[in-house]
Chain A
C-alpha cells in the first residue's frame, strides 16, 4: 500500500534519514520504534509531504507522491496526528473535527461534516466536549481530538505520532484498543510511532526499528524484541511480549 524507497533527508550536515526503505501492507498495523532522534518523525514528515526528501521516493498505491504538498496527500487518503497536539485552539472541538471532514478526502457539506465529526468524536469518547473550545482540553483530550480529526479526513492510511505518550497506563490501554479496532473493524492501515514498548509490542502486526536514520531491524514484535541489535541500541534489555 505504501512504499518508501531509499529515502534520504538531510538537515545541513545532519543525515536524519539515510536510505530508509519501508513497506506497509493494506490493513496492517506497523509499529515504528527507535531511540530519540532516530528519524521517526522525520520519516512521517516525508511521507505526509511536510519535508521533501533529497533522495528516494514515496509511493502510495503505486503512485509517486514524493514531495506532494501536505493538503494534497490528505486528499490521497493519508492522515496523521502530531507528536505535540496541534489543536485549532479557538475553534470548538466539533469545528476542529468538522474542518477535517470538510477539507479532507471528500469535501463534505456542513451537515455531512457534522455527522462525520460527531461519529468520530463518539468513537474516541469526546462527544460531550464537542462544544468546548479546543484550547480548554487537557493533554489526553487533545490527543483524542487529534485522532478524531485525522480520522475525519477519511484516510485509508493513518500515521500516529506518539499518540499514547503522556497517558497513564489505563488511558493508554484504552487508546491502544481503539487504535487496534481501527485496523480490525474499520479496515484502516496504520503506522504508529511509539516509545511505550508495551503499547507497540502488544498491538503491532509488525515492528520496524529505526536507529540513527537507518533501518536496524524489522519483523514481528517477538522477533524484534529478541533481536540483540535492537536490545543493544534501544531496548537495553529483552522485553517480554
Chain B
C-alpha cells in the first residue's frame, strides 16, 4: 500500500511536469486542443457538483457559462473592471441563477428537471437578446482591451497555463468537496431523499446550495471562456450542444468523482474538435449526435464512466493478487 501510493504520486508528478512543459515542444494547434480540454474539464467538474454528486441531470449549464461570461465582460468593457475581479461577480450572478434552478429541482424530478433546465437556458438566451442596451443583443460584445492585467494574453501558451490552473483547482476543489459535510449530505440526498431527511439533512437547502455552487463555478468558467475567445454572443454560448457536452464529458469520465471531468474532457474534446474539423460544415449537429451516442453507450455499458471502470478493474486485480 505504501509503495502503491508512492508510485501514484510519482506518476501524478510526472504527468504534472509533462503538462507544464507541453507548450514548449508541442505546436500551437496541439496546445490549443489540450487547453480547451482543460476548460471543458473544469466546466464538467462544475456540473458534477449538482449533476454527479447531486444526481440532478442539468442540461442547461450553458446558461451559467453565458451569465458568467456576460457579467465579467460587461464589467470589463463598460466599467473597466478587470476580469480577475469580475470573475467572482460572474460566479455570484451565475450562482444566484443556479439557486433558482435548484428550487426547480425540488419540484421537477429526473427527465422533467433536465427539460426544465433546457427551458431555463433558452430563457436566459432570450433575456440576453432582449436587453440589448446592456448585452449588445444579437451582436454580442467584443472584448477590446488587452494586457494580462485584464486577463488577456498574446499567446495560446498563456491561456494554456491559465486553463491548466483552472482545471487543477477544479480537481482539488472536488477532492475536498466530496469528503466535506456538505458533499456527503448532497450524495446522501442523491442516494435516498427520505433517508437523507431522516438523518437530519435539510433536503431543500442542500439541493439549492448545491445547484448554486455548481453554477458559481460554471460562471467563473464562463469568464475564462470569454477571455479566451474575446467575443461573446448569446447564440454561440447558450447552445444545447454546450450543455450536452458538459454533461457528456462528466458522465463519460465518471460522474460524482473528482477525476471524471478531466478524463472525459481529454477523450471527448479532441474527438469532437477533430470530427468538426473533418466534417465541419457538412453534417450539421454532428457533435450533438456524437454526444448522444457516447452518452447512451456509457450509461448502458459502463455505468460509473471510465474512471469507475478503471477503478473497479484495479480493485478487483488488487484483490485477486492477494
Contacts and interface: CB of A to CB of B under 8 A. Distances in A.
A69 B185 contact: no
Contacts of B256: 90
A86 B195 contact: yes
Given A102-B184, A110-B181, A89 B201 contact: no
B262 interface: no
Interface string B169-189: 000000000010100110110
B199 A86 contact: no
A143 B192 CA distance: 15
The interface size bin for chain B is 10 to 19
The interface size bin for chain A is 20 to 34
Contacts of A102: 181, 184-185
Contacts of B179: 110
Contacts of A88: 187-188, 191-192, 195-196
A150 B201 CA distance: 13
A91 B200 contact: no
Q: Which of A48, A70, A86, A110 has the most CB of B within 10 A?
A: A70
Contacts of A70: 194, 197-198
Given A88-B187, A99-B188, A74 B200 contact: yes
A234 interface: no
Nearest to A102: B181
Given A88-B191, A88-B192, A79 B198 contact: yes
B184 A82 contact: no
A164 interface: no
B199 A103 contact: yes
A110 B178 CA distance: 12
Contacts of A91: 184, 187-188, 191
B168 interface: no
B181 A149 contact: no
A195 interface: no
A204 to B, nearest CB: 23
A111 to B, nearest CB: 12
A69 B197 contact: yes
A102 to B, nearest CB: 5
24 contacts: A48-B198, A70-B194, A75-B200, A79-B199, A80-B198, A86-B192, A86-B194, A87-B191, A88-B187, A88-B196, A90-B256, A91-B187, A91-B188, A91-B191, A99-B184, A99-B185, A99-B199, A99-B201, A100-B199, A100-B200, A102-B184, A104-B200, A110-B179, A149-B199
Given A75-B200, A99-B201, A105-B200, 17 more contacts: A49-B197, A70-B194, A70-B197, A71-B198, A82-B195, A86-B194, A86-B198, A87-B191, A89-B191, A91-B184, A91-B191, A99-B199, A102-B181, A103-B199, A103-B201, A110-B179, A153-B199
Q: Across chains A and B, which 5 residue pairs bring their CB atoms closest together, nearest first?
A: A86-B195, A74-B200, A88-B191, A100-B199, A70-B197
Interface of B: 179, 181, 184-185, 187-188, 191-192, 194-203, 256
